[in-house]
Amino acid sequence: MKYLLMLLTLVFVSCNSATNSKTSPSNDIGGEVDQNIEKMKNKVIIITGASSGIGEACAMAYAQKGSKIVLAARNLEKLKAVEQKIIATGSEVIAVRCDVSISQDCENLIEQTVAKFGAIDVLINNAGLLINKPITSMLDMDFDRIFDINVKSAFRLIRDLLPYLNSGAHVVNISSMGGVQGSSKFPGLSLYSASKGALAVLTECIAEELAEQRVFVNALALGAVQTEMLAQAFPGYQAPLQPNEMAGFIADFAKNGHRFFNGKILPVSLSTP
Ligand SMILES: NC(=O)c1ccc[n+]([C@@H]2O[C@H](COP(=O)([O-])OP(=O)(O)OC[C@H]3O[C@@H](n4cnc5c(N)ncnc54)[C@H](OP(=O)(O)O)[C@@H]3O)[C@@H](O)[C@H]2O)c1
């Protein structure tokens, strides 16, 4: 009997220490849905481009998890409407008017986030601009605008948020299938696709640099989702996914994906386009 008790004690201690010594990008990894919801409570999430489409849907997905949410976009009226919907769920939220191509706006976004919530766990660089024009009609300023919003803003936000990112934080950059080398390309989307390709390579590079600090950076190369931007790129096309469906995937990936991926570009697509 004495030996049986010793054996049981040993098994219990070794199971416990195995669980505790597991290394994972963050402490919020849970198996069960309820556990996951519990562990996303109080996590601080910044979502750019949160006034509509996929960004708004991501914000609502996090509201269901009880996270602390920072909404950023240019249209404050739309942001405030999203903010009200989130407040109704009981989650904490702030809406910050921010043009991600303007450095002072980004500084203000960071200041307001840190003042309200402290350190950040998840940044979703989702704000995006699409210009649908043949290359012969594209202007220099179109190039600058599209790269400022789709690439430079992600670089700037990651760099300037770094001191405030928790160990184990996850940055998710929203790229596009158009930015994946070798994927189908479409007339009119040259600069948009090139910018999304640049964002993907930037993701790989920054992930490498930040690995030691345990900040994880991945890009999701999205396929078609039914939003205003899709209608602009492919008028009349019916996408196989609605924003809330894609947002559910993005929110789960931003929460857990850095256990399995870092510096990766993951295609998330059911269709072409
Ligand atoms: N829908 C698709 O099929 C698809 C496919 C691949 C990738 N994506 C990517 O998914 C992301 C979300 O797009 P969506 O489809 O949801 O389109 P959307 O409904 O048009 O949303 C775009 C969002 O970006 C914001 N935004 C644009 N310029 C901004 C700026 N300068 N500063 C701050 N926010 C800005 C917009 O808000 P304000 O106008 O209020 O600023 C809006 O909230 C984009 O990065 C897009 O490239 C979408």
Helix (H, G, I), strand (E, B) or coil at 145: helix
Give nearest CA residue, ligand 1 atom 19. Answer: 53
On the question of pLDDT at 28 being above 80, the answer is: no
* 99: phi then psi, degrees, rounded to nearest 5: -90, 110
On the question of pLDDT at 22 being above 70, the answer is: no
| Alpha carbon distances (Å) from 115 to 42, 46, 58 | 15, 14, 23
Segment 35-55 mean pLDDT? 87
What is the identity of the amino acid at 100?
Answer: V
Nearest CA-CA partner of 195 in 225, 162, 219: 219
Nearest CA-CA partner of 56 in 253, 239, 244, 238: 244
- The number of the ligand 1 atom at minimal distance from the alpha carbon of 79 is 40
On the question of pLDDT at 166 being above 80, the answer is: yes
Identify the band that residue 87 occupies on the pLDDT scale cut at 50, 70 and 90. very high
Full DSSP string of 181-213:
TTS---TT-HHHHHHHHHHHHHHHHHHHHHGGG
On the question of pLDDT at 155 being above 60, the answer is: yes
Catalytic residue among 3, 62, 164, 192: 192
In the chain the first and final C-alpha atoms are separated, in Å, by: 68
What is the Å distance from ligand 1's center to 54 Cα? 7
Report strand pairing: 44-48 vs 165-176: unpaired
Map out the domains of the chain with their CATH numbers.
31-268 (3.40.50.720)
- Asked if 174 contacts 182 with a C-beta cutoff of 8 angstroms, the reply is no
Cα gap 41→57, rounded to integer Å: 18
Enumerate residues 6+ apart whose C-beta is below 8 A from 198: 147, 150, 151, 179
Nearest CA-CA partner of 214 in 20, 23, 84, 5: 23
Across 75-108, b (16+ Cβ under 10 Å) vs e yields eeebbeebbeebeeeebbbbbbbbbbbeeebbee
Cα gap 95→264, rounded to integer Å: 30
Q: Is 62 an active-site residue?
A: no
pLDDT tens string 227-269? 999 999 999 999 999 999 999 999 999 999 999 999 999 999 9
Give nearest CA residue, ligand 1 atom 11. Answer: 126
What is the Å distance from ligand 1's center to 55 Cα? 7
Instruction: Give the mutation target among 183, 227, 237 for probing the ligand 1 site: most ligand atoms within 8 A of CB.
Output: 227
Ligand 1 neighbours, Cβ below 6 Å, are 48-49, 51-55, 73-75, 78, 98-101, 126-129, 149, 174, 176, 222, 224-225, 227-230, 239
Percentage of the chain lying above the pLDDT 70 cut: 86
Alpha helices in the chain (DSSP H): 2-21, 33-40, 53-64, 76-89, 103-117, 140-147, 153-161, 190-210, 228-233, 243-256
- pTM here is 0.89
What is the Å distance from ligand 1's center to 244 Cα? 14
Identify the band that residue 78 occupies on the pLDDT scale cut at 50, 70 and 90. very high
